[in-house]
Chain A
């Protein structure tokens, strides 16, 4: 009985501290979503209004005037293909890097996950300008490989390391070639790794603003760039910005809730 008495307040304390922290972390999201539902007049009201009649005019404006859905589609196309290509390359090379202990190449991969991407974009911009690849899907997908290839190789290497070598050795003794051993034994085993790496790459590539700001144009505007273009030269359309932000936050939240396990795995393996 006594123990119970001592334990209950402690749990309450943990919960209240964590709730305070979570309010700090979630309040901006709440504020943005409510702003998106307010009429323009109420957004710029001071002090802030907390109860109001919700309206969807800003969402309609974001779609009709700013064509945010086109940007989302562009973003999806670019991130999806870049991620797939990255994974395809990484599946093979992560295996080779781990099994043949190519330490130096692994080191180069690690370094390339962390370079400031702008140093690659400056020359690529000059080059694309000459070749006419500015404002094209293939140009953007090509540059997004800068992000996805090293990231996915690095995460996948962590997974390949966890696969016992004996499995393949048994297969090769049975008369299987190494390539086949890879395709039929190792490849199915690293599928969870492919998922984790894919999620990480996709989100990094989706979040990118700089590549698009430099290389995209009217036809390939990605979602972050499209949202940035909401900001006018003089007047800022706060309602439109909040609505666009809301549209982009909600998939992120659903994404996190659905795949948090793989996400944590990808992050920790990539980190350590």
Chain B
């Protein structure tokens, strides 16, 4: 009796094993679906729903459904429109400078000379620092009364500038910090492309009498195109999502002059507690990022 039962169990276990083997595709992904569902999909769906509610959390314990008011209000909100334009402006400036600088450094490090590996490691350091630390570091350096950058400006012969206090200058100060932080990233990605580039086409071009500039434009750039695309788009998404650095340096000020989309959303939800309005801003933000993502995916496909 017992033996029979044990036999039965073993049989069952084996058939369970076989069943599991067939379902491996879904069984292995089960934890992933659960984790992603709970932490990503459900919250995003909920945020979409909240964006159609009016919920001032300080006064009401629960949201008031259902309204399009948030989106209409967003369209008329000057601060929001300015934040969107500023985000685009910031992203294009910062990523443009980072790309040119990063490409130049990568090309320099592509030459074989002793000690180049040390430079590559040093370039990684700013990227790995905690953004809040970076923000506070630069906040000290940008200080009007004792900051070292103003000191350097005076040494060179300019007059002092209020880097973080002047609404016209503040965004460029943040661009400088972003360039400092992320140029190394672009360098690393492009270097990976340059290392994996086959040598033969370059040699062939040189044999055919192409000069250096022609080689660079017609051979090197096309063969690292996908790396360049990936670096620029990943950086653009990163620059769109800049938050910690701005929050630590200026909290979006002065007079909201350094407020991009992320700080705008954050301030409205977690500082003023307009959860509904903040969610609507967050949804718009999310959709923009999704759009850029689609370009990225399209580029990967075409590769």
Contacts and interface: CB of A to CB of B under 8 A. Distances in A.
Interface of A: 11, 14-15, 17-18, 21-22, 24-26, 28-29, 31-32, 35, 43-48, 85, 88-90, 92-93, 95-97, 100, 102, 105, 107-112, 114-116, 118-127, 142-143, 145-146, 149-150, 153, 177-179, 182, 203, 206-207, 209-210, 213-214, 223-225, 227-228, 230-231, 238, 241-242, 244-245, 248-249, 252-253, 255-257, 260, 263-264, 267-268, 271-272
Give the top 6 A-B pairs by smallest Cβ distance, nearest first: A96-B28, A123-B46, A93-B32, A224-B132, A120-B43, A92-B28
B97 interface: no
Nearest to A214: B270
A100 B25 contact: yes
Given A122-B279, A123-B43, A223-B130, A260 B32 contact: no
Contacts of B35: 85, 89, 145, 149
A41 B61 CA distance: 49
Instruction: Determine the interface band of chain B, counting residues with CB < 8 A from chain A.
Output: 35 or more
Most chain B Cβ neighbours within 10 Å, of A142, A177, A227, A272: A272
A127 B28 CA distance: 29
Given A31-B141, A179-B24, A268-B189, A142 B39 contact: yes
Nearest to A245: B133
Nearest to B238: A114
Given A227-B136, A252-B130, 12 more contacts: A32-B140, A92-B31, A116-B282, A119-B47, A142-B38, A146-B40, A149-B36, A178-B24, A241-B140, A248-B133, A268-B189, A272-B227
Interface in B275-290: 275, 278-279, 282-283, 285-286, 289-290
Interface stretch (B2-10, B67-75, B108-116, B204-212): B108-116
A26 B125 contact: yes
Given A14-B108, A35-B140, A92-B31, A111 B290 contact: yes
Interface in B229-280: 230-231, 234, 237, 240-241, 243-244, 247-248, 261-262, 265-266, 269-270, 275, 278-279
A238 B38 CA distance: 41
A179 B39 contact: no
Judged by DSSP, the binding face of A is helix
A242 B32 contact: no
Nearest to B266: A118
B108 A15 contact: no
A119 to B, nearest CB: 4
B136 A245 contact: yes
Contact of A256 (B57, B121, B275): B121
Nearest to A44: B146
B158 interface: no
Contacts of A182: 24, 28
A109 B39 CA distance: 13
Contacts of A153: 32
A89 B33 CA distance: 10
Contacts of A271: 189, 227, 230-231, 234
Given A112-B36, A256-B121, A97 B24 contact: no
A48 B108 contact: no
16 contacts: A89-B32, A92-B31, A92-B32, A96-B26, A96-B28, A102-B29, A116-B289, A118-B282, A122-B275, A146-B39, A177-B17, A210-B243, A238-B140, A244-B133, A255-B128, A272-B189
Contacts of A223: 130
A271 B128 CA distance: 16
Given A18-B119, A123-B47, A210-B266, A116 B39 contact: no
